[in-house]
Chain A
């Protein structure tokens, strides 16, 4: 007898007596905010859903991500679909299951005041600034359709500026010769879902390249990795395109499109919709927004949520630190296991030349002072302090080891490393 192929995910010690009838999931969250006049979530619609365009007045990446999350969790989209348009000051946004240390150079970004944020949807890493427009299409789960949304954007660009764009197999929007102008990601839940994408209008491409530059850092992980693509700004193709104009162009196109297909219903259809609305994302208007924002800014979410990984780096020991008898090239190797952003284990392989008389003896200190620390500069500072407290006559050797650890963690380009 053919049986369903199934996958087990986890085992759970169940509270409460076993049910003896099939369990059906009703709506997951209590619907508290609704513009719908229909009564229950299972109501059969007898008219099209109405549409609104919300424009966020905030430029803060965390506030906007929190607003997006708030709408996803609290709004009833059954009869009311929403397009949220938002822009941010310079920030890098990584996907839900990505590793920030692998994707970007975290110390360089913090030096330049560029925020690092993690979003709730999947996908790769993107760079935002005021020349980038973000669009989020909110619908109930059943009406989630990425392709339709992207076709809508294509149509808007043609209608206003005659710009011909294509949708790549990976569902990015590309223009003239395969340059990417938009990246897409989505989150599917019950009862709501959203699809969001970026649109590069007049982004600082130098900063983008610098921020997203991937360094080889000896990181091994099963986190999802970004696939780099050559990008182009819309204003490079047509200098009349600006973010402000794009806001209204796409907004109008959204309002005249059928909510369930990509069909253009014409200008008259717009009269039946709810038009544009400026949104001020504060806790007063959106109770619970501050809590969502706090969670999104926390280190535990941004860095601690990274899937577990290990870093392995080897360093050439400078000749002067080795004992006089040793003339061979010797290497120091460090492997750091990180889970939830915390150092779980450290393996330090000290070459014999370094260990020789008056050599490095702080091996145990390195391991114990790093274990349990956050994978960050703080750990290096603690290590430095621990080693300086050792009664070792050769501080230069300690400093060398500290430098190696610092390079491993902060992934600075080191001429001596491979």
Chain B
């Protein structure tokens, strides 16, 4: 029994060391920014575990950071389209339909630092103010001024009215 335990632990460490390589590569690029606590923490914990490993088996694995743009939805409301380091946040058709006529859009200001799940703005419709929650952490770099000035745009199709060139 004991030997089984040790061998499976060894296997886990072997697998882990493979993973560590990948994590290290990811972290390298990210660590240039000192404000990214998450990355630093995971980097530190990885190194700690590597030091404790009985077998250190660094195989170089070439990984390419494939960043593919995919729209990810939160629970029925906001979506985020991540392209590398930039995210675009919006609301879905379902959400604007549920809201009814939007009379005011309060969006987060440029340069605001937001944490994931923070309340970062509101959409007011027929006397109900619906909170906007941020699906990711980060710093706002641009906001849709057209929507702030004409909140009714939210209820119309916005495919024709692109507000920046992608």
Contacts and interface: CB of A to CB of B under 8 A. Distances in A.
Are A and B co-members of a single complex? yes
B109 to A, nearest CB: 9
A4 B93 contact: yes
A122 B114 contact: no
Which of B78, B124, B135 counts the most A-chain CB atoms under 10 A from its CB? Answer: B124
Q: How big is the B interface, by class?
A: 35 or more
Given A6-B79, A11-B88, A25-B74, A122 B127 contact: yes
Given A25-B135, A28-B117, A186-B129, A12 B141 contact: yes
A23 interface: yes
Given A13-B87, A16-B39, A188-B131, 7 more contacts: A8-B88, A9-B105, A12-B139, A13-B140, A16-B30, A23-B80, A190-B133
A22 B72 contact: yes
A187 to B, nearest CB: 5
B124 A224 contact: yes
B46 interface: no
B140 A4 contact: no
Given A9-B89, A9-B147, A15 B158 contact: no
Contacts of A12: 86-89, 114, 134, 136, 138-141
Interface string A1-36: 001111111111111111101111100100000000
A168 to B, nearest CB: 12
26 contacts: A5-B159, A7-B90, A7-B96, A7-B144, A9-B147, A10-B89, A10-B142, A11-B141, A11-B143, A12-B89, A12-B114, A12-B139, A15-B35, A16-B137, A18-B84, A23-B73, A23-B80, A25-B117, A25-B133, A25-B135, A97-B129, A171-B127, A188-B130, A190-B133, A222-B149, A222-B151
A3 B90 CA distance: 15
Nearest to A124: B127
Contacts of A170: 127
Contacts of B142: 10-11
Contacts of A124: 127
Contact of B92 (A6, A14, A123): A6
Contacts of B67: 18
A188 B129 contact: yes
Contact of B144 (A8, A96, A185): A8
A120 interface: yes
A16 B135 CA distance: 12
B129 to A, nearest CB: 4
B165 interface: no
Interface of A: 3-19, 21-25, 28, 95-97, 120-124, 146, 170-171, 184-190, 222-224, 307
Contacts of A96: 106, 122, 124, 129
B103 interface: yes
Nearest to A187: B129
A170 B138 CA distance: 39
Contacts of B104: 97, 122, 222-224, 307
B138 A7 contact: no
Nearest to A185: B127
B84 to A, nearest CB: 8
B153 interface: yes
Contacts of B119: 28, 189
Interface string B28-63: 001001011011000000000000000000000000
B128 A14 contact: no
Indicate the member of B26, B39, B96, B117 with the most A CB atoms within 10 Å. Answer: B117
B82 A18 contact: yes
A10 B143 contact: yes
A120 B143 CA distance: 22
A189 B136 CA distance: 17
Contacts of B105: 9
A3 B26 CA distance: 33
Contacts of B13: none
Contacts of A16: 30, 36, 38-39, 136-137
A7 B158 contact: yes
B20 interface: no
Contacts of A122: 103-104, 124-125, 127-129
Contacts of B93: 4-6
Contacts of A189: 119, 130-131
A17 B153 CA distance: 32
A14 B90 CA distance: 14
Q: Give the top 9 A-B pairs by smallest Cβ distance, nearest first.
A: A122-B124, A186-B128, A123-B127, A11-B142, A122-B129, A10-B143, A8-B90, A189-B131, A12-B138
A8 B163 contact: yes
A21 B72 CA distance: 8
B147 to A, nearest CB: 7
Nearest to A28: B117
Contacts of A17: 26, 30, 39
B26 A188 contact: no
B129 A14 contact: no
Contacts of B144: 7-10
A4 B71 CA distance: 11
B138 A13 contact: yes
A170 B126 CA distance: 8
A24 B36 contact: no
Interface string B92-124: 110010000001111110000010010101101
B29 to A, nearest CB: 9
